[in-house]
Amino acid sequence: MLLQADRPTRQATIPATRLTAEAKRVRGGAEGLLLVDKPAGITSHDVVLLVRRIYGERSIGHLGTLDPFATGLLVLLLGRATRLATFIVTEPKVYEATIRLGVETDTDDCTGAVIREAEAPARAAIDRAIADLTGRISQVPPAYSAKCVDGTRAYDAARRGQPIDLEPVSVEVHEWRVLADRGRELDVRIECGTGTYVRALARDLGRQTGSAAHLSSLRRVRSGNFDIGQAATLDDLKRSPPPLRKLSVVASDE
């Protein structure tokens, strides 16, 4: 079976035995999928609240949040379609990002305080680090993250000046592509699996080159089947809300 929305860019296969019961329930009532282009400066939850008001639906799930400074694709599931989130949340995501070289921050991004500075690394060192940070890797989440240890969020502990030592997590980085190298700034396109922190990739790139680095911009351009070109802006939602995309299930041999 395949789970898809109308006008998909690519189909993702889901085992029929896992999907059938949920798909039948969702088909029986109102549900839908909405693609939103989140601007910088607001949280993903702010977008959910706006969509809740516009569409009059309280039950809204998403396929991965974005940090407030980040922009790009949010995939929202409304109504009973939220029951299908677990079947598509593991699809790879693609980001376009700018990495600032020579400076590390306590948040691993541009919103944090500078904690270390170094000379910018040579391109050869960058290429070696990228190779090391591709594939199945072990990644320590950022100190300022939503990871929970003994009931405490990592970012709450970090804000109190008592950062938690977070355990490494196994994540999958499918591909890095360098789009531009401006010496102190590196524009990259990264495809990675769910649970990967692009901020941490930037931090580790700096450390592995013997330098320092942080993420200065981040934009999600693809999530699974869905592309940023299909997404509505907040102005679109306020001016003329698009109809929800209907999820459908079709047969597959896989």
Active site members: 67
Residue type for position 48? V
Give the H/E segment covering residue 100. strand 93-101
Phi and psi, residue 138, nearest 5°: -100, 125
Q: Quickly list H helices, 56-152.
A: 85-88, 123-132
Q: How many C-beta atoms surround the C-beta of residue 124 within 10 A? A: 9
Q: Is 128 exposed, middle or buried (0-12, 13-18, 19+ CB in 10 A)?
A: middle
CA distance linking residue 33 with residue 247, whole number of Å: 7
Q: Which residues contact 8 (CB under 8 A, 6 or more apart)?
A: 225, 226
Phi and psi, residue 5, nearest 5°: -110, 165
